[in-house]
Amino acid sequence: MRSSIWILLRAQLLNQLRLNDFKYETDKRKKTRTIAFAVSMGFVAILVVSYSFGIGYGLGSLGLADAIPGCAFAIASLMVLFFTLFKVNGTIFAFKGYDMLMALPVPTSAVITSRFLLLYGMNALFSLGIMLPMGIAYCLWVQPQALFYVMWTISIFVTPFIPMTIATVLGTLVSAISSKSRHTNVVGIVLSFVLLFGFMGASLSTGTLSSSQMSVEQLASLGSTISQKMDQAYPLTGLFENAIRSYDLAAFLAFLTIPVVWYLLFVKIVSIRYKAINTGLTTQHAASDYKLQRLQVNSPFGALYRKELRRFFSSNSYVLNMGFGAVFLLVASIACFIIGIDRLEQLMGMPNMRETAIGVAPFAIAAILGMSCTTCVSISLEGKNLWILQSSPLKPATIYRSKMAVNMTILVPIALLSSLFISLCLTADFLSAVWIFVIPLAYVGLTAVWGIFVNLSVPDFSWESEVTVIKQSMAAMAGIFGGLLFGLIPIGTLLLLNGVDRNLLALIVAMVVMGLTVALYKKVCTIRLSG
Amino acid sequence: MLELRHFSKVYKGGKKAVDDFSLTVEAGDIYGFIGHNGAGKSTTIKAIVGVLDFEEGEILVDGHSVQKSPMECKKLIAYIPDNPDLYDHLTGIQYLNFIADIFEVDRSEREERIGKFAQEFQITGALGNLISSYSHGMKQKLALISAFIHTPKLLLLDEPFVGLDPEASLALKSTMHEICKEGSAIFFSTHVLDVAEKLCNKIAIIKEGRLVEAGEMEALTRNRSLEELYMEVEEHEK
């Protein structure tokens, strides 16, 4: 049993992490891409570690070092939960190669364990990246006993268990409910958004502090307030904090036992119903009663555009990862409009925020829109279907244009609506309102072209699961973070160069963005679509 | 209809997949392309349809160079790879309509041809379902119908009989005869020598990237079966 788990896990690791590409790939371009991807992942890891250390150190410098363990545990748990939620379907259930694997002479529990271990491995890295630097920050402020180091190290590897199982149940439920519906994808996407915003709302309402609690007088009790809030949101936090802060071995043992027992029980229960769950998720009744109807005729561009739009909405991962920013922006802008600028200033404790917000708003909207870059993975997502486009009488530019048009179809209405709500909320003057509309629209064009450019530079057609391309590919990272960066640069300029004319800055940025868009567009139209 | 002149393909790393390959396929030909696994069949077909770049030689489709005028060539071609991966998120009819749009087939013609071939391949009822729910054989049928929609002058099929049920195999053979009678040409690879022998008027045998036999079926086989000829060629070339 143990050896079969290891054999299965090893094969999955080789496949997922593309370790063989380093060793056996003869195509230098592909090898360079794999190395570049590894380097970019390393860069992201450094960012996560630095950010986590910054939070820990920041809490310590505010005299809230006692809150660090709870915060580290809660943040790591939340990250694991989000990361696992949309990876369950495709990693543990309904994954490619399921039929082949289940036909092998290995116990079902070995298959499940190997799949869980794969997911656990990735989540343990997440936990390590967050909890280790926060633990170091804690040590710098508290100088704990030797026992702390042992407890903290063990905790890092136990933390992912419970959020992983919760995410598995929720992710499977979403897939199960949506697979029963006629409109599987729409239901799946809506449920996933509800779940995401639900989590965000819940963590905001229980895990954050209102402005009244931020008063200087209450600073001394902030640590315990934070702990209480987090314990309300996730009761295991309290147990963990007790164990770590008071070196309470009994609490620590309880903290270790609960997730491990819970996890083992969960795996046991899942293994009993594993085949049934997989069958339920992967099989649908398909009526074979279609009768030929009048067909709609489109231009080649129209056909590609419709195909691309269907591709986007057919994938939960695609919509959630690339559409989340845009949906979040819309929700946030509506919320700002309803709350009003006066109440917002009050809530954030920034009485003169309006003026700054008017200057920053166009670029902030643009930055969030820039993260919804659907084009940056759209070419890679052709995958094994690439032959269809390659053997068709289509100019590559027509294909790219159809993908850009889809990105713009998604972003333009959201940009316009968000700009409207934000400009109404800020009661902006005419010229400022114009920039609140123009800048995001200019960025939408750049985002669409930038994505194609990035994806043509680092395409990946040999994926097994689309999630790898959407979440982990170099193109996805460059597309999303590039878009974000384009928006953040003018914000930084505006905040750093005090007194700069914001209208002049907006004009310059708009010109630069449009110029860059045209130049990139001309460039991509000349690039061939090769596999 | 199709002319390959001294075509060679070298993969990165220096492996020569096809070496100095010359062949002519005429209108009305059903040309079988046989060879063992890895002999260079798929590489040759992919180069003809423009999926694969090549540096040496020339490939002409109805007089147009594949490299210089790819669009003109592709308009005349229909291609089906050995394992056709189609758009899983589309329904069968959406996929066929998509291909008809790409090849700019007018409404009445596409409706007539889809109706005809869907009926012949017994797939009409399933056209409203997502391709992701199709079996391998159904996907193969759908890919074949999509290849016939725009009345191609040259059909390039890589192992087209794999996964087809007996009725569909029969329908495919009959359709191949029919479209060749109308003046189109078919160049297809296969490992099923019996099918090639009965269906093709010409055959080409490729071994380790080199064309070792090509021409009229009867002239090449004479009193032997295609299987015997193939084994002889394999033995002789060792």
Rounded to a whole number of angstroms, the distance between the first and last alpha carbons of chain A is: 40
* Full pLDDT tens readout for chain B, 238 residues: 899 999 999 887 777 889 999 999 999 999 999 999 988 999 999 999 988 888 899 999 999 999 999 999 999 999 999 888 999 999 999 999 999 999 999 999 999 999 999 999 999 999 999 998 899 999 999 999 999 999 999 999 999 998 899 999 999 999 999 999 999 999 999 998 999 999 999 999 999 899 998 899 988 888 888 898 888 887 776 5
* Tokens linked to A50: 């630095």
Average pLDDT score over chain A? 85
Asked if residue A288 belongs to a domain, the reply is no
Here the ipTM equals: 0.92
Asked whether residue A426 carries a pLDDT value surpassing 60, the answer given is yes
**pTM of the predicted protein model:** 0.81
Asked if residue A531 belongs to a domain, the reply is no
DSSP, collapsed to helix, strand or coil, labels residue A216 as helix
State residue A203 phi and psi, 5-degree precision. Answer: -70, -30
Per residue in A193-246, pLDDT (tens digit) is: 777 777 666 655 554 444 444 444 454 555 566 666 666 667 788 888 888 888
Beta carbons of B129 and A287 less than 8 Å apart = yes
H or E element that contains B41 = helix B41-49
Distance, in Å, from the CA atom of A370 to the CA atom of A446, rounded to the nearest integer, reads 8
A/B interface, count of CB pairs below 8 Å? 107
Same domain, A391 and A422: yes
Asked if residue A361 belongs to a domain, the reply is yes
Asked if residue A290 belongs to a domain, the reply is no
pLDDT for position A466: 87
- Amino acid type, A32: T
Same domain, A70 and A202: yes
Which chain B residues contact residue A397 at CB under 8 A? none
pLDDT for position B140: 95
How many domains does one find in chain A? Answer: 2
Same domain, A157 and A54: yes
| Max Cα distance, chain A (Å) | 77
- Between CA A349 and CA A359, with CA A354 as vertex, the angle to 5 degrees is 125
Strands (DSSP E) contained in chain B are 2-10, 16-25, 30-34, 56-61, 64-65, 77-80, 154-158, 185-189, 202-207, 210-216
User: Averaged over A107-115, what is the pLDDT?
Assistant: 83
* Tokens linked to A487: 């928006």
Q: Are the beta carbons of A318 and A470 closer than 8 angstroms?
A: yes
Which chain B residues contact residue A385 at CB under 8 A? 85-87
Asked whether residue A373 carries a pLDDT value surpassing 80, the answer given is yes
Q: Are the beta carbons of B101 and A302 closer than 8 angstroms?
A: yes
pLDDT for position A92: 78
Beta carbons of B126 and A311 less than 8 Å apart = no
Asked if residue A252 belongs to a domain, the reply is yes
Rounded to a whole number of angstroms, the distance between the first and last alpha carbons of chain B is: 33
pLDDT for position A204: 58
pLDDT for position A230: 65
Minimal Cα–Cα distance from A156 to chain B, Å?
40
Q: A396-426 vs A430-457: helix axis angle to the nearest 10?
A: 150
Closest C-alpha among A216, A206, A211, A212 to residue A63:
A216
Distance, in Å, from the CA atom of A117 to the CA atom of A379, rounded to the nearest integer, reads 31
Asked whether residue A60 carries a pLDDT value surpassing 70, the answer given is yes
Strands B56-61 and B154-158: unpaired
Beta carbons of A384 and B94 less than 8 Å apart = no
Distance, in Å, from the CA atom of B156 to the CA atom of B158, rounded to the nearest integer, reads 7
pLDDT for position A209: 44
Q: Is A311 on the interface with B (CB under 8 A)?
A: yes
Same domain, A498 and A365: yes
Asked whether residue A355 carries a pLDDT value surpassing 80, the answer given is yes
B234 CB-contact burial (10 Å; exposed 0-12 / middle 13-18 / buried 19+)? middle
Same domain, A349 and A495: yes
Which whole-number Å values give the CA distances from A473 to A43, A93, A423, in the listed order? 13, 22, 36
Q: In what order do the strands lie in the sheet with B64-65?
A: B16-25, B2-10, B56-61, B64-65
pLDDT for position A412: 97
Name the residue facing A393 among B103, B114, B127 (closest C-beta): B103
Distance, in Å, from the CA atom of A68 to the CA atom of A51, rounded to the nearest integer, reads 14
Same domain, A262 and A307: no
Per residue in A313-339, pLDDT (tens digit) is: 988 889 988 998 899 899 999 989 998
Which whole-number Å values give the CA distances from B15 to A27, B18, B52, B55, in the listed order? 12, 9, 15, 14
Distance, in Å, from the CA atom of A99 to the CA atom of A282, rounded to the nearest integer, reads 11
Same domain, A304 and A271: no
Residue B215 pairs in a beta bridge with B203
Distance, in Å, from the CA atom of A233 to the CA atom of B124, rounded to the nearest integer, reads 54
Least confident of A16-20, A63-67, B2-6: A16-20
Q: What is the DSSP string of A21-73?
A: HHHH---HHHHHHHHHHHHHHHHHHHHHHHHHHHHHHHHHHTT-GGGHHHHHH
Instruction: Give the B-side interface with A, CB within 8 Å.
Output: 12-13, 49-51, 53, 71, 74-75, 77, 79, 81, 84-90, 92-94, 97-104, 106-107, 110-111, 114-115, 118, 124-130, 133
Distance, in Å, from the CA atom of A380 to the CA atom of A91, rounded to the nearest integer, reads 20
List the single best residue of A29, A32, A282, A295 to mutate versus B (max B Cβ within 10 A).
A295
Q: Are the beta carbons of B7 and B163 closer than 8 angstroms?
A: no
Under DSSP, the state recorded for B127 is T
Closest C-alpha among A407, A380, A376, A372 to residue A465:
A380
DSSP, collapsed to helix, strand or coil, labels residue B164 as coil
Distance, in Å, from the CA atom of A31 to the CA atom of A18, rounded to the nearest integer, reads 10
Asked whether residue A163 carries a pLDDT value surpassing 80, the answer given is yes
Same domain, A257 and A324: no
Those of residues 87-126 in A touching chain B at CB distance below 8 A are: none
Range of the domain at A225: 2-282
Closest C-alpha among B110, B117, B71, B72 to residue B94:
B110
- Distance from chain centroid for Cα B58: 19
Same domain, A268 and A305: no
Q: What share of chain A is helix, strand, coil (3-state, %, to 5)?
A: 80, 0, 20
User: Averaged over A285-292, what is the pLDDT?
Assistant: 77
Collect all residues with Cβ–Cβ distance below 8 Å to B59 and sequence separation of at least 6: B2, B3, B4, B5, B7, B47, B48, B65, B66, B67
Closest C-alpha among B57, B45, B56, B59 to residue B3:
B59
Which chain A residues contact residue B103 at CB under 8 A? 392-393
Minimal Cα–Cα distance from A26 to chain B, Å?
7
Asked if residue A289 belongs to a domain, the reply is no
Same domain, A372 and A328: yes
Q: Dihedral, CA atoms, A310, A314, A317, A323, nearest 10 degrees? A: 40
Name the residue facing B133 among A26, A28, A284 (closest C-beta): A284
Predicted confidence band of residue A75 (pLDDT cuts 50, 70, 90):
confident
Minimal Cα–Cα distance from B80 to chain A, Å?
9
Beta carbons of B129 and A300 less than 8 Å apart = no
DSSP, collapsed to helix, strand or coil, labels residue B27 as coil
- Other Cβ atoms closer than 10 A to A364: 22
Distance, in Å, from the CA atom of B145 to the CA atom of A518, rounded to the nearest integer, reads 40
Closest C-alpha among A246, A242, A268, A270 to residue A255:
A242
Q: Are the beta carbons of B152 and B8 closer than 8 angstroms?
A: no
pLDDT for position A212: 42
Distance, in Å, from the CA atom of B118 to the CA atom of B145, rounded to the nearest integer, reads 7
User: Averaged over A389-404, what is the pLDDT?
Assistant: 96
Asked if residue A237 belongs to a domain, the reply is yes
Beta carbons of B97 and A295 less than 8 Å apart = yes
Q: What is the DSSP string of A321-355?
A: HHHHHHHHHHHHHHHHHHH-HHHHHHHHT-TTHHH
Distance, in Å, from the CA atom of A245 to the CA atom of A152, rounded to the nearest integer, reads 11
Asked if residue A530 belongs to a domain, the reply is no
User: Averaged over A502-527, what is the pLDDT?
Assistant: 94
Distance, in Å, from the CA atom of A86 to the CA atom of A413, rounded to the nearest integer, reads 26
Q: Are the beta carbons of B43 and B17 closer than 8 angstroms?
A: yes
Minimal Cα–Cα distance from B46 to chain A, Å?
9
Q: Are the beta carbons of B176 and B150 closer than 8 angstroms?
A: no
pLDDT for position A416: 96
Asked which of A217, A247, A282 is the last residue of a domain, the reply is A282
Minimal Cα–Cα distance from B35 to chain A, Å?
23
Least confident of A237-241, A442-446, A507-511: A237-241
Distance, in Å, from the CA atom of A162 to the CA atom of A267, rounded to the nearest integer, reads 12
Same domain, A365 and A250: no
| Max Cα distance, chain B (Å) | 54
Same domain, A221 and A97: yes
Q: What share of chain B is helix, strand, coil (3-state, %, to 5)?
A: 40, 25, 35
Q: Are the beta carbons of B29 and B202 closer than 8 angstroms?
A: yes
